[in-house]
Structures are given as C-alpha cells and as structure tokens.
Amino acid sequence: MNASRHIATLTKTFLSLSLIVGIAACSAPEETPLVDDTAAIYNTTLTNQELMALIIEPASDILWDSGGWVLDASGYEELYPTTDAGWAYVRAQAAIVVEAGNMLALPGRAEDSDAWMIYSQGLSDAGLRAMNAAAAQDEEEFFQAGAQLYSVCSACHQAYNPDIVSRFAESD
C-alpha cells in the first residue's frame, strides 16, 4: 500500500469514526430508557409461587446441598464439589438465582417498588457471590454466599409471606 492510499484509508476510517461518534453524541440527549414498561411484553404467566417452587427453591437447594459438611452415620461428609464439572454445575445454579432476582422484579410480579425490589436485588447479589465463589472454587466464600442467600429468602418471606417462614424451617 503506498503512502497516499494509506492516508486516504486512515482519513476514511477517521471520518466514519467521527460520524459514529457524532451520531452517538446527537442521540445521547434523548436517552430513552432501554426498558419501556408500557411497551415491553413480559410473559408473567408463572405466579411467584410457581417461581419459588419450580425455579428458585430447586436451584438454591442445590447450592445449599453443595456447601459445607454433613454429619451422618459414617462421619463427616464434605459436600463441596470436588471436580471442575461439579463446580461448573453449582455455578450454573447460582446463575439461575441471579436471574431469579430479575424475574421477581418484573412488573406484574413485584409486590411493590420498595422493599420487594431490595430483596430481589439481594437475591441476585447473593447469587453472583455464589457464582464467583464457584468459579474460584473457594469453599469458604461459597459457604458464606449460601448463608447470605438464606438470609435474603428468610427476610423476604418474613416481610411478604410470614406463613412460609415456618413451613420453610420445617422442610429443612
């Protein structure tokens, strides 16, 4: 490539770049929110009860069953995953918990735009912590993430469905 063509190419690249930047700059002030709730269509056929029973509890149970130790007849059994595949599996369950926080926050599911949202975000936060711990295969951190998750579930149930708290405790 000779020098002048090279410069021409550079100029063209620069021009298209400035065009893109220009367009971005022009459209910035309008900044329509990415999610326009009036136009968005969410399928919220599943009730919160179904979300809990079919998605959130099964995924969380796998996390809790994969953290710590249990004492049984044969002594202490370590529950943490012992293989890369095992950790990858629990990391995937944690990802479900992360997204479950968003599912609960959808219009049509959220019971208010206040504490409910904070608990929903808390669910996602605990899920992310568990995901990171699983990625790092960090047993102690994974255990703590499980404890954090449990406290979010309990706090939300306490606030929105006190009946469930006792049922929850019994099933443990």
Both tokens of 11, joined, read 């100029």
CB-side neighbour CA atoms (13 Å) of 103 = 20
Beta-carbon contacts of 149 under 8 Å, excluding residues fewer than 6 positions away, are: 60, 63, 64, 97, 123, 126, 127, 130
Q: Nearest distance from residue 156's CB to ligand HEC, in Å?
A: 3
In the chain, the amino acid numbered 100 is A
104 binds ligand HEC (CB under 6 A): yes
- Between CA 50 and CA 56 the distance in angstroms is 9
Residue numbers 60-79 binding ligand HEC by CB under 6 A: 60
Say whether residue 57 binds ligand HEC (CB under 6 A): yes
The count of chain residues that interact with ligand HEC, using the rule CB under 6 A, is 20
What whole-number distance in Å separates Cα of residue 15 and Cα of residue 19?
6
Is 141 an interacting residue with respect to ligand HEC (CB under 6 A)?
Answer: no
Rounded to a whole number of angstroms, the minimum distance from the CB of residue 22 to ligand HEC is: 44
137 is a contact residue toward ligand HEC (CB under 6 A) = no
Binding site for ligand HEC (CB under 6 A): 48-49, 52-53, 56-57, 60, 104, 116, 119-120, 123, 149, 152-153, 156-157, 160-161, 164
